Amino acid sequence: MKIISKPTSAFNDQKPGTSGLRKKVKVFQQPGYLENFVQSIFDTLKVPAGATLTVGGDGRYYNRPAIQTIIQMAAANGFARVLVGQAGILSTPAASHIIRKYHTYGGMVLSASHNQGGINGDFGIKYNISNGGPAPEKITDDVFAKSKLITHYKIADLPEIDIDHIGETIFDDGKFTVKIIDAVQDYADLMQELFDFTAIKKLLASGFKVQFDAMHAVTGPYAQEIFTNRLGAPITSLMNCVPSEDFNGGHPDPNLTYAEDLVKIMYAGDRAPDFGAASDGDGDRNMILGKNFFVTPSDSLAVLAANATLVPAYATGIAGVARSMPTSGAVDRVAAKLNIPCYETPTGWKFFGNLMDAGKVTLCGEESFGTSSSHVREKDGLWAVLFWLNVLAAKADACGQAQSVEAILMAHWAEFGRNVYSRHDYETIPTDAANSVIQHIKAQFESLPGQTFGSYSVKTCDDFSYLDSIDGSISHNQGIRILFEDGSRIVFRLSGTGTEGATIRIYLEAFEPDSRKHHLDAQVALAEMIQIALLISQLKEKTGRDTPTVIT
């Protein structure tokens, strides 16, 4: 096995975001671009003898050639073995599980998550550490620093590996091995350990109808194995389950806008199924729907926390919960009643990882359609879907009649009150215009407190900072918060997951204790606050945008 040191020139735009490095495919196809970033990651690591690297992704365009390059570079940079998901497939939560189960040194996850795919779409790569979670900021900052100084990368002269068939290829008398593994089996086995598959199977056999949309993305094979093969759901309950390099031309983001086909099915009146769900490009996000009813991710986290003991894996209770700062305070109310800690962190799953490793939290979630637990160190879409089905099965009456998703939410709100919540996304805004909006809001920090806007009086405002109680690190500038006297709030953030322009996200939240108002549509209930957000930000005037791209 010959190792080659190839000269290269540094790129100045390889700073990883909250979920690794995401760029257009054509950016990654530049000579040396992928190689430089991968080498910069390897240069931050002290790879021990005999170390194994996990590699897989969401099946989007450019995954296959990228995997071949990573294998060759892993061989040149001291790894003894590489585990690759069959056909290059590993959902992000499955990759986390593989890293943890087989004690690999870390993993390369190839995904741009919910972003569009194809030759004109997006590609992404991130490094996950040995706990299965995304690399912390200390590592990603070091990777960026090295990427600006790189002059050479190392690559082994290896033939192309057949990644479509399970098996093992050995090089250099056993000094380097590539093993192609079943991409689905280990993850499906884990789900069967966590949840009561017997109860869920009984629920599905009772006439309870489900509809799952894989959005032509990575969870298709996982859904077929779990729902059809293990739970006995009819194949007609699954849709768009064949992974596609361009997600069949769609946008694999499980929300009310981009999962339009599923939404139409679930809002078909009496003909609608009882339960609907969708997952995203790499399988870490989820959307939950009932018959003609949408569950916000914030409410989903709260309901799962409140009902955790109905699930075998959490039957003895949960240690604590955590949520990202923009996520609503609904789960805080559950935590208070359960007398368990609740942590508020910046957006980004790596912040939850520290808390989980320290045994502080069991469940965690983000408003951006991500929920999970300490079974892995990533968001987990199918896990959330199965959790809901397990709760529905456990709450079924003696005759097997399940409550509706809406009934479960109404009962939850009656007990805890409703945190009315919505997020408005303004996507692909020119970066200068987006920064202008944020700076305009920050310039009002001193003058806003004490001002009254309609029914709301501003108590305080800030740019959220987080002190990690586990490692002592501090994260600044994590989102602008405008907090009102009654506990309501508006949050503004620039998203770090896009590859083109900037996305401004506006999060709106108001607590409603009156059960007589719990049926109101969130946009109606938050109408006044929406206008306040636009007034304070001057978003329309500074960007020319009249309406959000996505409302959730």
418-551 maps to which CATH number? 3.30.310.50
pLDDT at residue number 18: 74
Q: Which tokens is 450 given?
A: 């004490």
User: What would the mean pLDDT of 304-319 be, rounded to a whole number?
Assistant: 98
- pLDDT over 90 percentage in the chain: 91
Comparing 46-50, 250-254, 399-403, 511-515, the range with the smallest average pLDDT is: 399-403
496 pLDDT exceeds 60? Answer: no
Q: What is the pLDDT of residues 188-243, one digit of tens each?
A: 999 999 999 999 999 999 999 999 999 999 999 999 999 999 999 999 999 999 99
User: What would the mean pLDDT of 476-498 be, rounded to a whole number?
Assistant: 88
Q: CA–CA separation, 23 vs 496, rounded Å?
A: 12
434 pLDDT exceeds 80? Answer: yes
Q: CA–CA separation, 136 vs 449, rounded Å?
A: 35
> Phi-psi category of 321—alpha, beta or left, where left has phi over 0 and alpha has psi -120 to 50?
beta
User: What would the mean pLDDT of 63-72 be, rounded to a whole number?
Assistant: 98
Name the band, by pLDDT with cuts 50, 70 and 90, for residue 340: very high
Whether domain 3-183 has CATH 3.40.120.10:
yes
61 pLDDT exceeds 90? Answer: yes
497 pLDDT exceeds 60? Answer: no
Q: What is the pLDDT of residues 108-140, one digit of tens each?
A: 999 998 899 999 999 999 999 999 999 988 899
pLDDT at residue number 469: 87
pLDDT at residue number 401: 87
Asked if 547 and 501 count as a contact pair (C-beta separation under 8 A), the reply is: no
Q: Which tokens is 145 given?
A: 């620093």
Burial tier of 68 (Cβ tally within 10 Å: 0-12, 13-18, 19+): middle
Asked if 214 and 241 count as a contact pair (C-beta separation under 8 A), the reply is: yes
3-183 and 186-416 have identical folds: yes
Could you give the residue numbers annotated as active site?
113
Give the global pTM: 0.93
pLDDT at residue number 499: 60
Pairing of strands 122-128, 106-110: antiparallel
User: What would the mean pLDDT of 51-73 be, rounded to a whole number?
Assistant: 98
User: What would the mean pLDDT of 504-521 be, rounded to a whole number?
Assistant: 93
Q: Where are the domains of the chain?
A: 3-183, 186-416, 418-551
Question: Which positions ≥6 away from 132 have C-beta within 8 Å?
Answer: 95, 96, 97, 99, 100, 107, 376, 377, 378
Q: CA–CA separation, 246 vs 235, rounded Å?
A: 23
Q: Which CATH superfamily is domain 186-416 in?
A: Alpha-D-Glucose-1,6-Bisphosphate, subunit A, domain 3 (3.40.120.10)
**Local structure of 463: helix, strand or coil:** strand
pLDDT at residue number 77: 98
Name the band, by pLDDT with cuts 50, 70 and 90, for residue 362: very high
Q: CA–CA separation, 495 vs 513, rounded Å?
A: 31
178 pLDDT exceeds 70? Answer: yes
pLDDT at residue number 160: 96
Which amino acid is residue 181, in one-letter code?
Answer: I
